[in-house]
Amino acid sequence: MKDNDIKIVGLSNASKPKGKTNWKIVGAIVGIVVLAFGVIAGIILVRQQQDIREKAGVTYGRCDEAGAEACPGTDGILRNCHPPESDNTPALSSCDTAGRIEFCGTRNYCCPVAGGTWTADMSACAVATATPTSSTRPDYCVSASADKAVLNSNDTLTVSSVSNTPVNGFGYAVYNLDNLYGPENPKPVCVGAGNVTSDCPNGGTHFILSDPDTNTLRTNGSTQITFGRLFITDKNTGQQLKNVSFMAYFSLNGGQVSWPQNACKAFTRMGTISTATSTSTATATSTSTTHATATATSTTSSGNNTSTPTATSTSTSGLAGSTATTVPLPVTGAKWPTMLGAGFGIMMILVSLALAL
Q: pLDDT per residue over 297-325, tens digit each? A: 443 333 444 444 443 434 333 333 333 33
Q: Are residues 113 and 159 in the same domain?
A: no
Are 108 and 262 spatial neighbours (Cβ–Cβ below 8 Å)? yes
If asked whether residues 98 and 226 sit together in one domain, one would say no
User: Where is the domain boundary, 246, 270, 294?
Assistant: 270
Kindly tell me if the per-residue pLDDT of 271 is higher than 70.
yes
Say yes or no: 198 and 244 in one domain.
yes
Question: Residues 162, 114: one domain?
Answer: no
Structural domain boundaries, residue 161: 131-270
Is residue 150 located within the same domain as residue 244? yes
CA distance 287 to 12: 104
Q: How far, in Å, CA of 63 to CA of 79, rounded?
A: 9
Residue 338 neighbours by CB under 8 Å, 6+ apart: 45, 48
Query: Is the model's pLDDT at 334 over the cut of 80?
Result: no
Examine the pLDDT at 205 and tell me if it is beyond 60.
yes
Residues with Cβ within 8 Å of residue 54, at least 6 apart in sequence: none
pTM of the model: 0.42
Q: What percent of the chain has pLDDT over 90?
A: 25
CA distance 46 to 38: 12
pLDDT value, residue 140:
93
Using H for helix, E for strand and C for coil, what is the string for 197-241? CCCCCCCCEECEEECCCCCCCEEEEEEEEEHHHHCCEECCCCEEC
